[in-house]
Chain A
Amino acid sequence: MAQKKETREKPAEKAPSEEETKAPAITEKGKELAQDMDKLMDEIDDVLEKNAEEFVKNYVQKGGQ
């Protein structure tokens, strides 16, 4: 076990900034973001094909892996 810890404490081969991934904490951000969605929803209306039904029906792929 002691040996294992030693290996881990060796400096990383690459700069930490390249390896580590920091994400912001989960706070009440969800609620904050949920507000003010109206503008985005308008935009989504524009992006969706006018004929959604036909578009979705025609989305057929050959099976992959």
Chain B
Amino acid sequence: MRRRIVGIETEYGLTFFPTGKAYLPMEKVIGYLFEEVIPTGWPSNAFLPNGARFYQDTGCHPEYATPECASVRSAVIHDRAGERLLESRLGPAQAKLAEEGFRGRLYAYKNNTDTMGNTYGCHENYLVERQVDFWQLAERMIPFFVTRQIFCGAGKVFRQAGHARYSISQRATHIHEASSSSTTSSRSIINTRDEPHADAERYRRLHIIVGDSNMSEFTTHLKVGITCLLLTALEEGAVLPDLSLEDAVDALRQISLDLTLRSPLKLTNGRRMSALEMQWAYLEAAEHHFSGLTHGVFSALLGQWREVLKWLEKDFTQLADRLDWVAKYQLMQRFMERQNCTLEDPRVSMIDLQYHDIDRTRGLFYLLERDRRMVRLSTDPEVDHAMQYPPSNTRARIRGQFIRFAKEAGRPYSVDWTYLKLSGYFEETILCTDPFASHDPRVEELVTTATGDLYEI
């Protein structure tokens, strides 16, 4: 498989449920959350020794951006390491708040919507070759991004005019354009922000903001993996079918509310196809392009994609152990049967939220996973390792080595995706523009000169 740099940015919902009556500004909660993780007083940067970025984003959301990953599996592991890192901060922050008299429970949700209709995102970043015409890529990929929710949606109780329905995607109703440069006012399927953090003559960045945050590792694996697979096909000159939709934004919403997955959508060429049919068309084009493959990640992904589409067509409930929207749907169905209630019941809305609680002792996804009711792809030791250390085969390794050194030497520093700098006027800025390079002689020299020892990662 051709290597590709990918990264996932996740904004988390944060709430404090008081056991007493006390107003608590979220700024205060967030302050405690980041304490000890991010050095204070130093140039405000939030990069960690594992190469990731953990910071406070627009609207008081903790956000975790994984380090540069060079495989789908690595992205899945590092995405989960971000969850664990935030989870590890909840207890100490809650204890600090209690010391100050704010008693209650602190919750962090890996989802995309609140009760009032606000949204926060999960952005995917893919490094793509600039030689591929971007607008052509967008045209061929947008129908894929619109329809892939049938396997990577996170599910949600959707309320409209006082009526509750189950919807497949959390983000569908918050997307207003096919492509644009804004991420807050007019969110789009593809964001045109082009910051490759790499040689801009060779690469550009594909910034996808239409996706839901996923709890299931298998869902994240499919979401990122199949997207990579199609991008590679395009870069290799494959011709993907032209499935341009007459109204891509409207189609997103229609699909989200159609649990039959079969409602026809209007294409610009006059044809009508369902979300399922469109996914089959993409799969067939990919299978055709990669027909010589017999092993490796893409070969496995093609098989998994086919299986998932087959079961979505036949009986989606069979996928409850791997797709988020199906797992949540099943849980709600069970609850409603048992309690003899409907989707309107506030306890069902609470299930909708609690599925995404990252605290493993009360998050419903984690209760399912503990009982082996969800397919798990990573292992605990891998995730623990990723909380401390960057991937060993990308630029994140250099960043991690540098930050570890600076922290242990007690030297203030500033770091971004493409540069490293120790503070002090005589220190040079070390530019790292190649995200595939995992070794940098300047950083290794700096580290060995200072300590006589390499911080081996």
The smallest C-beta distance from A9 to any residue of chain B, in angstroms, reads 9
Q: Mark B1-42, 1 if CB is under 8 A from A, else 0.
A: 111000000010111010000000010000000000000000
Question: In the complex, what distance in Å separates the CA atom of A20 from the CA atom of B1?
Answer: 11
Q: Mark A15-50, 1 if CB is under 8 A from B, else 0.
A: 010111111111011110110010011011001110
Q: Which residues of A have CB within 8 Å of B123?
A: 65
Total inter-chain residue pairs, C-beta < 8 Å: 162
CB of B3 within 8 A of CB of A23, answer no
Q: How large is the interface on B (under 10, 10 to 19, 20 to 34, 35 or more residues)?
A: 35 or more
Instruction: Name the residue in A22, A31, A47, A61 with the highest tally of chain B Cβ atoms < 10 Å from its Cβ.
Output: A61
The smallest C-beta distance from A64 to any residue of chain B, in angstroms, reads 3
Q: Which residues of B have CB within 8 Å of A23?
A: 218, 221, 304, 322, 375, 377
Q: Determine which of B184, B221, B320 lies in contact with A34 in the assembled complex, contact meaning CB atoms within 8 Å.
A: B320
Q: Which residues of A have CB within 8 Å of B73?
A: 18-21
CB of A56 within 8 A of CB of B59, answer no
- Contact (A44, B377) CB under 8 Å given A52-B346, A64-B57: no
Q: Which residues of B have CB within 8 Å of A25?
A: 307
The smallest C-beta distance from B211 to any residue of chain A, in angstroms, reads 12
Q: Which residues of A have CB within 8 Å of B292?
A: 1, 4-5, 8
- Contact (A47, B338) CB under 8 Å given A58-B15, A61-B61, A64-B11: no
CB of B320 within 8 A of CB of A48, answer no
CB of B364 within 8 A of CB of A44, answer yes
Question: In the complex, what distance in Å separates the CA atom of A26 from the CA atom of B309?
Answer: 11
CB of B297 within 8 A of CB of A37, answer no
A28 (CB) vs chain B CBs: closest residue? B318
CB of B321 within 8 A of CB of A60, answer no
Q: Determine which of B59, B115, B319, B335 lies in contact with A64 in the assembled complex, contact meaning CB atoms within 8 Å.
A: B59
CB of A65 within 8 A of CB of B184, answer yes
The smallest C-beta distance from B347 to any residue of chain A, in angstroms, reads 5
CB of A61 within 8 A of CB of B297, answer no
Name the segment of B95-103, B350-358, B404-412 touching the other chain: B350-358
Question: In the complex, what distance in Å separates the CA atom of A16 from the CA atom of B316?
Answer: 30
The smallest C-beta distance from A49 to any residue of chain B, in angstroms, reads 7
**Contact residues, B366-380 vs A (CB, 8 A):** 367-368, 371, 373, 375, 377
Chain A interface (Cβ < 8 Å from any Cβ of B): 1, 4-5, 7-8, 12-14, 16, 18-26, 28-31, 33-34, 37, 40-41, 43-44, 47-49, 52-53, 55-65
A-B contact list, 28 entries, CB within 8 Å: A1-B292, A8-B1, A8-B292, A12-B1, A14-B71, A16-B296, A21-B73, A23-B221, A23-B304, A24-B375, A40-B368, A41-B334, A43-B367, A47-B364, A47-B367, A48-B351, A56-B346, A56-B350, A56-B353, A57-B115, A58-B15, A59-B13, A59-B114, A59-B115, A61-B59, A64-B184, A65-B11, A65-B183
**Top 5 A-B residue pairs of the complex, sorted by shortest distance between their CB atoms:** A64-B120, A62-B59, A53-B346, A30-B318, A52-B350
Chain B interface (Cβ < 8 Å from any Cβ of A): 1-3, 11, 13-15, 17, 26, 57-61, 63, 71-74, 76, 114-116, 118-121, 123, 183-184, 187, 209, 218, 221, 225, 236, 292-293, 296-297, 300, 304, 307-308, 311, 315, 317-322, 330-331, 334-335, 338, 346-347, 349-351, 353-354, 362, 364, 367-368, 371, 373, 375, 377, 393
